[in-house]
Structure 1
Amino acid sequence: MSAPLDLLVLGNAIVDVIARTDEGFLSAQGVAKGAMQLIDEPRAEELFSAMGPATIVSGGSGANTAVGAAILGAKTGFVGKVREDELGRLFAHDLKATGVAFGVAPAKDGPATARCFVLVTPDGERTMNTYLGACQGLSPADVNEATVASARVTYLEGYLWDPPAAKDAFRKAVRIAHNAGQAVALTLSDAFCVGRYRDEFLGLIRDGSIDILFANIGELQSLYQTDDPDAAIRALRDERDNRGRHLLGLVTRSEEGSVVVKGGEIRAVEVSPVREVVDSTGAGDLFAAGFLAGHARGLDYVTSARLGALAAAEVIQHIGARPQGDLVALARARGLI
């Protein structure tokens, strides 16, 4: 039997290539500001050649959450696919160095390790162009039953819904987790991702596959197809699965803080103070990390959301989606842990 985990994340194993840029560059490259779009390998090479100086770090939305939760003391594992190449080895090394268990065998051949080109404009907004590469090879065979059954929460990155085999891997993980009496979480990841899979995501919520939902307000509005953010939150509040259960919803609203939606109730949670927004990459990932780390410690939902807000605030004050400050010390100074 695998050692018990607080959190097991299924996500795209991606190396981030981060560069500062301006809106003129975005326009010239024909990319939509603030969005994530999928690109092929030739486009990846073209974009990399056109970019300015870049920082290369291990990333991927779910992996960022796994790392943040581990830094905050949660016992964490990650399931994702890399190629046995230079970037794949970098990704695995970085993940393990932060204490995240990562045992998925790399692909021996096929597409290269995934890369995400993150273009950061002066206002801190990030625009992402992602070559999925090897991470699309994640399959049910990579999901270890004992590992999933040991995890208190299994967390799915919504972007995984693009590759069919990865979708099957998550369905397998849902089945194992629920058979073991454990919880399953989903992050909607991106409004465009929601647009592609709205009916399927709603199906996961309504058939009882999902116990915890993470979303930013734009993603939630896309899910419920409304321009009214309050209406989207009310729709989530009223959501029930096929057994009549309310799910736990965590919705981030940028500088307006977040809300916790549970049992027909909505609780607002204040934002954590920020000196300057440098790069918003990873804000939602780290909010989820802080919340789930607090949940693992037995904190109530609102305090866990405050811990999530603190983690998100730290990561947006520097380039890159992984924490650079001492999150534990910050949390203790705020009386959160």
Structure 2
Amino acid sequence: MKHYDVFGIGNALVDILVPVEDSLLQKMGWTKGIMTLVDSEVQGGVLVTLDGHKKELRSGGSAANTMIALANSGGTGTYTGKVSEDTYGEFYKQDMEKAGILFEVPPSKEGHTGTCVILTTPDAERTMLTHLGISTTLTKNDLDLDKLKKSSYSYVEGYLWDGPSTKEACVLAMEESKKAGVKVAFTFSDPFCVNRSREDFLRLTKDYCDLVFCNAEEAKALAASESKEEALKFVSKLCPNVMMTDGSNGAYVSENGTISHVSGFAVQKLLDTTGAGDSFAAGVLYGLTHGFNPERSAKWGNYVASRIVQEIGPRLSVRLMGRQEEILG
């Protein structure tokens, strides 16, 4: 019996959520709908411009969002990410544990906790300005391998494939998972991650992964194909289980090469797409660790994602724990 459903690893970032009008986004000169890495000075200038706007803080980072939504569904997990001994770092730990996820990585005495300013326009698109801060200094020594071995799945975000020490941590987590019989789940995170490290992602997917999460654009980037169907077939030949999201069209599930489509849920009012893919992964991981088959797991993932896009920010205001039978039937 495993003690944790999921052992998550990713960048630890404090999200600073700010609703803005399109006109302000254009005036500031940022391209809508994408994530841009910025330094602390640029991000500080953006926050000065946003002085007077309503802001909310959340513990974030892609894999962290997944872990929090997993706990909301009733799952258990522990998260590995790097923060600093500063105000944002203290907030991060408290917020993660308040959400139900264990976070015990010792903070760094140097540097600043990473932050992500998320600008959400009225059409629900989010534009992210990310300063990774101390999160990029995560090393393999930060991994609690005892907790990893007590987990059903390890879950690694593709955003970590950016620096030498974080790459080493990813590979060690995957290798130790395989040795301990822990299933490896990997999310491609973003098309730019795939394009920048395509050969590495191909190798990781083939050599280590039991389950891959991607959206259609990420799959097409890995497969170097313009067809989402062909891209899914390509990824499916590398990994036995693939979950590919396709926006409002729901998701595609590939299990040992057999592909099926799982429809999505109607959304009454689309407010913010932040964390939709992360929430889908949370629902799937909850399902797979609680006896659901892949299609039912994807259905629950679709439902969790459908709820998150009706919220501002990547955090659900409703509790989904224990509601799976009621909602899925």
Q: TM-score, normalised by structure 1?
A: 0.93
State the partner residue of 2:298: 305
Name the % identity: 34
Classify 1:254/1:176 alpha carbon distance in 2 versus 1 (closer, same or farther; 3 Å): same
Residues 1-337 of structure 1 mapped to structure 2, 5 A cutoff: 4-51=3-50, 52-109=53-110, 111-206=111-206, 208-237=207-236, 239-240=237-238, 246-328=239-321, 330-335=323-328
Question: Secondary structure, in 3 states, of the residue corresponding to 2:321?
Answer: helix
8 Å Cα contact 1:236/1:261 also seen in 2: no
Structure 1 counterpart of 2:92, one-letter code: F
The separation in 1 between residues aligned to 2:62 and 2:172, in whole angstroms, is 21
Question: Secondary structure, in 3 states, of the residue corresponding to 1:334?
Answer: helix
The separation in 2 between residues aligned to 1:330 and 1:222, in whole angstroms, is 36
CA displacement, residues 258-283 of structure 1 (integer Å, 9 cap, x when unaligned): 01012111110010121011000010
Instruction: Please list every run of 5 or more consecutive structure 2 residues that lacks an aligned counterpart in the other structure.
Output: none
The separation in 2 between residues aligned to 1:145 and 1:58, in whole angstroms, is 23
Instruction: Please list every run of 5 or more consecutive structure 1 residues that lacks an aligned counterpart in the other structure.
Output: 241-245
The separation in 2 between residues aligned to 1:85 and 1:16, in whole angstroms, is 15
The separation in 2 between residues aligned to 1:38 and 1:233, in whole angstroms, is 29
Structure 2 counterpart of 1:270, one-letter code: S
Segment of structure 1 superposing worse, 20-29 or 80-89: 20-29
The separation in 1 between residues aligned to 2:78 and 2:134, in whole angstroms, is 19
The separation in 2 between residues aligned to 1:335 and 1:219, in whole angstroms, is 28
Aligned-pair distance for 1:22?
Answer: 3.3
The separation in 2 between residues aligned to 1:332 and 1:326, in whole angstroms, is 14
Question: Secondary structure, in 3 states, of the residue corresponding to 1:326?
Answer: coil
CA displacement, residues 182-201 of structure 1 (integer Å, 9 cap, x when unaligned): 11111111111212111111
CA displacement, residues 103-124 of structure 1 (integer Å, 9 cap, x when unaligned): 1000011x21110111112211
Matched length = 327
Structure 2 counterpart of 1:100, one-letter code: I
| RMSD between aligned residues | 1.6
Structure 2 counterpart of 1:327, one-letter code: L
The separation in 1 between residues aligned to 2:289 and 2:147, in whole angstroms, is 17
8 Å Cα contact 1:34/1:128 also seen in 2: yes
Give structure 1 regions of 4+ aligned residues with deviation exceeding 4 angstroms.
Answer: none
The separation in 1 between residues aligned to 2:49 and 2:217, in whole angstroms, is 30
CA displacement, residues 164-211 of structure 1 (integer Å, 9 cap, x when unaligned): 2111111111111100011111111111121211111111112x2111
Structure 1 counterpart of 2:325, one-letter code: R
Aligned-pair distance for 1:228?
Answer: 2.0
The separation in 2 between residues aligned to 1:332 and 1:125, in whole angstroms, is 32
Classify 1:199/1:28 alpha carbon distance in 2 versus 1 (closer, same or farther; 3 Å): farther
